[in-house]
Structure 1
Amino acid sequence: MTTCRIPLAPVPGPRGLPVLGNLPAFGRDPLAFLERLRDDHGDAVLWSLGPRRSVFLSHPQHIAEMLAAREHTYDILDIGWAFKQVVGESVIMSGGADWRRKRSLVQPTVRPRQVRTYAATMVDCARSAADGWRDGERIDVRRQMALITQRVVLRCLFGNDLGDATGELARAMNVAEHEIGAELRSVSLFLPGWVTTPARRRLRAAVATIDAEVTRLIRARSGGAREAGYTAGGGPGGGEGRDDLLDRLLAARDEDGLPLSPREVRDEAVTLWAAGHETTSTALTWIWYLLSRHPSVRERLDAELDRVLAGRPPTIDDHDRLTWTQQIVKEALRLYPPAWLLAGVAREGAVLGGRRVPPGTVVWCSPWTTHRDPRWFAGAGEFRPERWDGGGSGDVPDHAWFPFGGGQRTCLGARFAQVEAVLVLAALAQRFRLDLPDVEVRPRVGLLLLPSAPLCATLRAVT
């Protein structure tokens, strides 16, 4: 377990309102509010989101200690009724023995060996999209990236594009993402589940659409993994077998030989789908925005693609040689981390920086504020992929960059997401530039950090 050498000395933050605490100020502009906590108060700031006592951490050592201890001395924060409706009791919402069991069953589906088998699908989906693009055409960047990553995750997760259901499911997931983000910023975060609002009716309808299709697929497959001779270690007879995540979830067995229940499979499948689709499409959207504003970075990307790929499509074996492409992805994740806020609820025995944390305290940290802290990154607000030259981080301390969390609860799909972003970017950038208007776009806070305005780009074919 990580032990912090920096003493924790929490200081009072801005005065809040009765009952609501700092929720109104936070809800108006969460990113600016968290930046003020860091800049005006310090590395450990007391504040309140509603009636709950909270502390916000900005120092990487405190963050590393908290994330390393989350499984042992922190409970999962209930971040609202809406989020729970979508992900259910999946691994990201579980704790203790239940979390360890589910993690052991889900993790093998996204290990590096398995990610290798999905790489060709990632490239194929990107190239298929590019086949439909035309020089001079205008596109909505986020929509196009979402279509690509959705095809990737649906093919890797369910083994196909789901035909006519694909568009309906995408719309349902977009509604769910929007309503989760809206609830997080409003007083409805504290409403009991039985309270019905228009937003909750919209979410229920979206979740019903998602559940109907995912349940249909699970029922169609149930028994299929067993009949095909699947084992927990892979495909038939321990080999590779069918390469989609759903069959692997159905085939998984815990140490007692028990499978995930149909509801558990549903929760893990939907969580993998939402995380794999939305986070990567959001990251790719910001990458195109940054490349359009930094021509010299794009020129170096073109040179690397020409040198490494020489006109052929990228493969998983090219991934490690596409070093500049990886640096672009890493730097974009620093500036625009899709998951912008993390938290845990302290149990009895929680300690940070040698100081006891009162049980029930919500301990928060934000990749957005830490990634943009000038103490850890020179020119913190600037897009500089070269800061990651050599694959290392130089003088950047541990957990000054943590877009996928940290500790044992690091995002299980981190490797999948990073490989997908690199290969999709390479496959598309081989063939097109995306020219965007030279206008600064701020992020809009929801469940993820999305552009606050549509990003419409003009396609320019690479010759």
Structure 2
Amino acid sequence: MTRTSAVPLRLVPGPRGLPLLGNLPAFGRDPLGFLVRLRDGYGDAVRWSLGPRPSVFIFHPEHIAEMLGGVERTYEILDIGWAFRQVTGDSVILSKGAAWRRKRALVQPTVRPRQVRGYAETMVDCARAVADGWRDGGRVEVFREMALLTQRVVLRTLFGNDLGERRHVLGDAMAVAEREVGAELHGVSLFLPGWIRTPSRRRLLAALATVDAEVGRLIGDRLAAGDTGGERDDLLGRLLAARDDEGRPLTPKEVRDEAVTLWAAGHETTSTALTWAWYLLSESPPARARLTEELDRVLGGRPPGIDDYEQLVWTQQVVKEALRVYPPAWLIPSVACEGATLGGQPMPAGTIVWCSQWATHRDPRWFPDPAVFRPERWGADAPDAVPDHAWFPFGGGQRTCLGARFALVEAVLVLATLAQRFEVHVDRCEVGPAPGLLLQPATPLRATLRAVDRAGQA
């Protein structure tokens, strides 16, 4: 049943835009600043225009919850550009209606808590391998280290091995594809028809040719070996073994689309969250000291496991607060269908309704001193309760990210594994986010490693 907001919607006109382009130039120059100006200068529901289509931005958690809860009923997912669809294809993330329900039923079992429990050992093993290569006083670029780590995790959990040297070929191609998708999301090319081949689109297609060749080879090898019954305990094996209510499997193209989507969702999203977590911990010595204390108390020097996850309370709070301050996914658009409403007001069919994790996560009404990193906000004894959907890094409603549990467990276990052995001191500098497909640091985060001094241990 669709949730109806108890907060009335008061829709006001936003800034005037240019003919045809609307507010796209202002949004493209400074997306995050533009969103904050809409929120602070106009209110919780603002009309604006991104190109020729009418749009509304909503900022109140009640309205966000209602809109996300109405997806697949009175709202539908917006197809956010030619480039994005080239990467994800017709996967569960963009499918609609009966096709979406079928694919969700086939994909969801691959990332349920029981399956994630089985992947936890791989997450920790990959993190330990990284820590074994770190040295006291060593220098690293944080995002690169986290990206290589989460890449290996997703390859081992998705394909059953890390592909050796081929992982660099696949990883580099996916990085190009994700960068070009992000560039299109707030540029004029977002509105260009698919047959127009800009330089960015040519780079994207070249990268995806590599991705499709590599993933297609892996799928083909499994099919040639007759491995379609889930003999391999990895995500690819589970996708090949999945059957719908009529006994139909996913086609090789559908398996490709889901595998690439799981790769994109499970790799750079988590590496981005971990990168911001290290940056914020480096800027907050008391939070880092409390993390060290918890790891010593809970783990006693041994590597973490899935059974430690619930006991690593402060580590979880660090991850949640990092996801609040710098949410990797920062923008969600949906399209109103016939009969859609928000806050008791009708929403004309075809209107694009947008919400932003960045803008709502940093709203001082829900998070006092919103730019300040305070993991204690998430403690059981925190004085200020966080409203539902004031924090929504994984979306909400039926379209909540299927890999949310996987991502949270991975971030907590990886952070715990590395932090019990090393402190990561990021160089002091002005660091801001660069909004693309994900919200990543605009400049490299270079850091010095310091081995954790644990008395009585070698």
TM range (shorter): over 0.9
Paired residues for 1:411-450 under 5 Å:
411-450=401-440
Q: Is the 8 A contact 1:123 1:427 kept in 2?
A: yes
Q: In structure 2, what is the equivalent of residue 58 of structure 1? A: 59
What is the rounded CA distance, in whole Å, between the counterparts of 1:390 and 1:422 in structure 2?
18
Q: SS of the counterpart of 2:447?
A: strand
Of 235, 245, 260, the match for 2:235: 245
User: What letter is aligned with 1:435?
Assistant: H
What is the rounded CA distance, in whole Å, between the counterparts of 1:334 and 1:295 in structure 2?
19
Q: In structure 2, what is the equivalent of residue 166 of structure 1? A: 167
What is the rounded CA distance, in whole Å, between the counterparts of 1:393 and 1:177 in structure 2?
40
TM-score (norm 1): 0.96
User: What letter is aligned with 1:46?
Assistant: R
Give the deviation of 1:173 after TM superposition: 0.9
State the identity as a percent. 71
User: What letter is aligned with 1:372?
Assistant: R
User: What letter is aligned with 2:181?
Assistant: I
What is the rounded CA distance, in whole Å, between the counterparts of 2:408 and 2:386 in structure 1?
20
User: What letter is aligned with 1:253?
Assistant: R
Give the deviation of 1:226 after TM superposition: 5.4
Q: Deviations over 1:231-277 (max 9, x none)?
A: xxxx5xxxxx5320000000000001000011000000000001100
Q: Deviations over 1:418-448 (max 9, x none)?
A: 0000000000001111111222311001000
Q: Is the 8 A contact 1:323 1:391 kept in 2?
A: no
Q: In structure 2, what is the equivalent of residue 329 of structure 1? A: 319
Q: Is the 8 A contact 1:137 1:458 kept in 2?
A: yes
Q: In structure 2, what is the equivalent of residue 265 of structure 1? A: 255
What is the rounded CA distance, in whole Å, between the counterparts of 2:44 and 2:242 in structure 1?
43
Paired residues for 1:124-273 under 5 Å:
124-222=125-223, 224=225, 230=229, 235=230, 242-273=232-263
User: What letter is aligned with 1:320?
Assistant: E
User: What letter is aligned with 2:314?
Assistant: W
Q: Is the 8 A contact 1:225 1:247 kept in 2?
A: no
User: What letter is aligned with 2:285?
Assistant: P
Of 355, 367, 375, the match for 1:385: 375
Provide closer, same or farther for how the CA distance between residues 313 and 45 of structure 1 changes in structure 2, counting only shifts above 3 A: same
What is the rounded CA distance, in whole Å, between the counterparts of 1:177 and 1:39 in structure 2?
31
1:296 aligns with 2:282: no
Q: In structure 2, what is the equivalent of residue 121 of structure 1? A: 122
Q: Is the 8 A contact 2:376 2:382 kept in 1?
A: no
User: What letter is aligned with 2:305?
Assistant: T
Q: Is the 8 A contact 1:314 1:426 kept in 2?
A: yes
1:308 aligns with 2:298: yes
Give the deviation of 1:224 after TM superposition: 4.8
Q: Is the 8 A contact 2:227 2:237 kept in 1?
A: no
Q: Deviations over 1:315-355 (max 9, x none)?
A: 00000000000000000000111000001011101111111
Q: In structure 2, what is the equivalent of residue 110 of structure 1? A: 111
User: What letter is aligned with 1:218?
Assistant: I
Q: SS of the counterpart of 2:49?
A: strand
What is the rounded CA distance, in whole Å, between the counterparts of 2:398 and 2:356 in structure 1?
18
Q: In structure 2, what is the equivalent of residue 17 of structure 1? A: 18
Show structure 1 runs of 5+ residues with no match: 236-240
Provide closer, same or farther for how the CA distance between residues 392 and 104 of structure 1 changes in structure 2, counting only shifts above 3 A: farther
Q: In structure 2, what is the equivalent of residue 238 of structure 1? A: none
Give the deviation of 1:79 after TM superposition: 1.0
Give the deviation of 1:185 after TM superposition: 1.4
Give the deviation of 1:394 after TM superposition: 4.5
Q: Is the 8 A contact 1:23 1:50 kept in 2?
A: yes
Q: In structure 1, what is the equivalent of residue 31 of structure 2? A: 30
Q: Deviations over 1:263-292 (max 9, x none)?
A: 000000000001100100000000000000
Q: Is the 8 A contact 1:292 1:436 kept in 2?
A: yes
Q: Is the 8 A contact 1:2 1:65 kept in 2?
A: yes
What is the rounded CA distance, in whole Å, between the counterparts of 2:51 and 2:381 in structure 1?
42
Provide closer, same or farther for how the CA distance between residues 57 and 135 of structure 1 changes in structure 2, counting only shifts above 3 A: same
CA-based RMSD of the aligned residues comes to 1.2
Q: In structure 1, what is the equivalent of residue 456 of structure 2? A: none
Q: Deviations over 1:334-386 (max 9, x none)?
A: 01110000010111011111111001000000010000000011111110000
User: What letter is aligned with 2:402?
Assistant: L
What is the rounded CA distance, in whole Å, between the counterparts of 1:81 and 1:117 in structure 2?
36
User: What letter is aligned with 2:347?
Assistant: V
Q: SS of the counterpart of 1:460?
A: strand
Of 386, 390, 414, the match for 1:396: 386
Q: Is the 8 A contact 1:225 1:251 kept in 2?
A: no
Q: In structure 2, what is the equivalent of residue 77 of structure 1? A: 78
What is the rounded CA distance, in whole Å, between the counterparts of 1:311 and 1:178 in structure 2?
39
Q: Is the 8 A contact 1:175 1:206 kept in 2?
A: yes
Give the aligned length.
452
Give the deviation of 1:164 after TM superposition: 1.8
User: What letter is aligned with 2:241?
Assistant: A
Q: Which moved more, 1:393-402 or 1:282-291?
A: 393-402
Provide closer, same or farther for how the CA distance between residues 393 and 59 of structure 1 changes in structure 2, counting only shifts above 3 A: farther
Q: In structure 1, what is the equivalent of residue 275 of structure 2? A: 285
Q: Deviations over 1:300-324 (max 9, x none)?
A: 0000000000000000000000000
Q: SS of the counterpart of 1:318?
A: helix
User: What letter is aligned with 1:436?
Assistant: V
What is the rounded CA distance, in whole Å, between the counterparts of 2:206 and 2:307 in structure 1?
43
Q: Deviations over 1:91-144 (max 9, x none)?
A: 000011100000000000000000000000000000001111111111010000
Q: In structure 2, what is the equivalent of residue 406 of structure 1? A: 396
What is the rounded CA distance, in whole Å, between the counterparts of 2:344 and 2:95 in structure 1?
27
TM-score (norm 2): 0.97
